[in-house]
Chains A and B, each alone.
Chain A
């Protein structure tokens, strides 16, 4: 087993190094908050939770592809385009929303970091400090190319979920069947709400923002637009591929044994008695990695937003001195979030809920601008959406918006 792993690890690394922004963004979408939501879905709905996944790939692929196309054709981030097209007032408004919403997502990631620390029996505060210092050094000391490689390598840890799921002895035939044939409990109210939450944690404003900024920094030539398209589709596929295993890990254990659950955090922690010590540790490592990647990428998207909207120099490729504002935002965001998470009595889940509502408000705003800009002939030339694609995109946008609004309403009402 180890020999096979050693043999393929190298090939896998090369394969991953060809990929870039879309894959990093979509994989980061399986962040701490994402993993927790997916585990909850698996634990509550069992194999039925898997039915939504093929559909999710489609939506994810479309939204990611539009973001990376905008970046390659215009050479600008979403922040640049909104500021230049719609002026400072709208830009400031959107910026404040995204800053708050991202801060909420950052909180969930640091909370996930804490949970993974508890699962792995690691001291929480040193773990947080270590994670923040490490990600800061990673961003300040390395170039775009290097940081991208590190992100991609970090994704190997997502295989922890695959092993964790395998250890739980799932019913493989059943799970594959569930992807195409809906089970009876898919049509329940509980299932609907959980599926909405899954959708809302997968397709996010920060993900949309990040893929475009990161792609812009990569300076991909317009000739390679076709390749970038494939990359977006592949990114969506690979991210949901791992989502499949996260759901499977809890479906095969917690759902099958009918363990009553209140929240996603419990789901992650309740695996141990059923899947065994090793699987539980793997799951913890996966969550730890997801939380750190989430922390880095979400704060980066805040920093990108700031520099794009207000035009201060900011890019991963610039040395620390030139991009001070960029990195300062990163650091301040993380430190405040960490302090809040370790504060006893801090109403973390209430705050997270409110900031998730902001995500839901932002997503329609983002899709409005994305669709408007991507269909602007002056900016996009021949690369505007085709009619068919527009129908798909508008359909996806409306669905995502409805999903996020319902999620928020339910959260507030319950």
Chain B
């Protein structure tokens, strides 16, 4: 993840270190997936070069582009980031002013696209180069700073070309989103609304979205579904996830749903449920280390030295937001690869594998091995972390099972 404020004005070099100019603006596609298609580079003679991002080799730390780059033009359906989004007022559907776009978030993993806009105070301070000091100062006062973001999913791309940054509510457009993004979006609303929106989607896509929701939403939704509908969804989502959900609803409804499943799925689910007799609570440990997203690598390393001195091991570092919800994770190795003043939110992994107290031990272990993770966080329905399942615990459990 990178902010536009960090790119603007940065020098652009070719691979063989010849300076071309400075980043002035970005060009993106005004669509549901806003790929950044071109860079606008101002050369030393104040001429503006438009260079397609296909020539872009590297964006972090320094910006490098291919030796044989070609320039191009703005085409239809493309917009400038500075002219069309940055500093603009965001309107809701009624046209009321809500907030202003202070910065733009860019995602550079799996492509290069706009992931959202920053509407908070930190976005302003970042431009004035005061963000670091402000965070340090508020950490010193033990105040938590938090960022306010609006996901791209909340903005109507069509309105942008008409010169307005407008919030979206047109629910028909939702299908074009990725299921993970939509799940995040829905978790910010309520269950009734979520159910309403899911009904408008096709079943397969809806099931994918449900698989990405948190267990609290999943349980509430399944309580509302009739057994036929629930069974259909169970067939479409991952068995491990299904068992997690099924174990949270009443046994009567669970049996009804399982009876409606096709035979292969039915067998699989029954087998997994039969394994679920061992409660995970007996196995997990409470020895884990958490940080907040704004802390820098330096802060984290210092705290590790002091706070984890008596830990038996440290394999994962968890990131909690202001509401103490689990929002990210990284390993000590990933930590060491970063610069000293990088804040945590810039490199943490947000897409996490978690388990719940109701998750059977066998399924937890399967998840652990399947995703090759050293630890798994156990969270409640509010994403609060309750403990961790470590590979040591897992090994102990396995050892007892061996003859």
Contact = CB atoms under 8 A, between A and B. Distances in A.
B283 interface: no
A314 B98 CA distance: 9
Interface residues of B, number: 16
Nearest to B86: A87
B127 A88 contact: yes
Nearest to A311: B100
Interface in B66-114: 86-90, 96-102
B87 A87 contact: yes
Nearest to B95: A75
Contacts of B297: none
Nearest to B92: A313
A35 B124 CA distance: 39
Contact of A89 (B90, B97, B128): B128
B124 A310 contact: yes
Interface string A365-408: 00000000000000000000000000000000000000000000
A311 B99 CA distance: 5
Contact of A80 (B89, B99, B101, B119): B89
A80 B87 CA distance: 9
Contact of B127 (A84, A89, A312, A314): A89
A44 interface: no
Interface in A54-100: 80, 83-84, 87-89, 91-92
Contact of B128 (A84, A92, A315): A92
B100 A310 contact: yes
A87 B90 CA distance: 16
Given A83-B100, A311-B100, A88 B88 contact: no
Contacts of B98: 313
Contacts of A89: 127-128
A312 B99 contact: yes
Contacts of A83: 87, 100
A96 B89 CA distance: 20
A311 B89 contact: yes
A342 to B, nearest CB: 31
B99 A88 contact: no
A325 B99 CA distance: 12
B89 A92 contact: no
A88 B86 CA distance: 9
A91 B127 CA distance: 11
B25 to A, nearest CB: 12
A237 B127 CA distance: 44
Nearest to B129: A89
A88 B97 CA distance: 18
Interface residues of A, number: 14
Given A84-B87, A87-B87, A88-B102, A311 B127 contact: no
Most buried by B among A88, A312, A315: A88
A113 B101 CA distance: 40
A88 B5 CA distance: 11
Contacts of A80: 89
Interface in B111-130: 119, 124, 127-128
Contacts of B89: 80, 84, 311
A180 B97 CA distance: 48
A88 B87 contact: yes
B308 to A, nearest CB: 40
A87 B8 CA distance: 12
Contacts of A314: 97
A315 B95 CA distance: 13
A313 B119 CA distance: 12
A84 B80 CA distance: 14
Contacts of B86: 87
A147 B244 CA distance: 59
Contacts of A88: 87, 102, 124, 127-128
A97 to B, nearest CB: 15
A311 B128 contact: no
Contacts of A311: 89-90, 97, 99-102, 119
Contacts of B102: 88, 311
A384 B112 CA distance: 40
B296 to A, nearest CB: 24
B12 to A, nearest CB: 20
Contacts of A310: 100, 124
B125 to A, nearest CB: 10
B124 A92 contact: yes
A311 to B, nearest CB: 2
Contacts of B88: 84
Contacts of B124: 88, 92, 310
A30 B263 CA distance: 86
A324 B119 CA distance: 17
Contacts of A92: 124, 128
B90 to A, nearest CB: 8
A92 B100 CA distance: 14
A88 B87 CA distance: 7
Nearest to A313: B97
Given A84-B87, A92-B124, A313 B96 contact: yes
Contacts of B90: 311
A310 B101 CA distance: 9
A14 to B, nearest CB: 32
Interface in A186-241: none
A387 to B, nearest CB: 28
Contacts of A313: 96-99
A214 to B, nearest CB: 16
Nearest to A310: B100
A59 to B, nearest CB: 32
B81 to A, nearest CB: 12
A91 B88 CA distance: 13
A327 to B, nearest CB: 16
B82 to A, nearest CB: 8
A89 B126 CA distance: 10
A91 B123 CA distance: 14
Contacts of B100: 83, 310-312
Nearest to A93: B128
Nearest to A83: B87
Nearest to A307: B97
Contacts of B127: 87-89
A313 B94 CA distance: 14
Interface in A23-69: none
Nearest to A312: B99
Given A88-B124, A89-B128, A313-B97, 6 more contacts: A84-B87, A87-B127, A311-B90, A313-B99, A314-B97, A315-B97
Closest CB pairs A-B (n = 5)? A311-B100, A88-B127, A84-B87, A311-B99, A83-B87
24 contacts: A80-B89, A83-B87, A83-B100, A84-B87, A84-B89, A87-B86, A87-B127, A88-B87, A88-B102, A88-B127, A89-B128, A91-B87, A92-B128, A310-B100, A310-B124, A311-B89, A311-B97, A311-B99, A311-B101, A312-B100, A313-B96, A313-B98, A313-B99, A315-B97
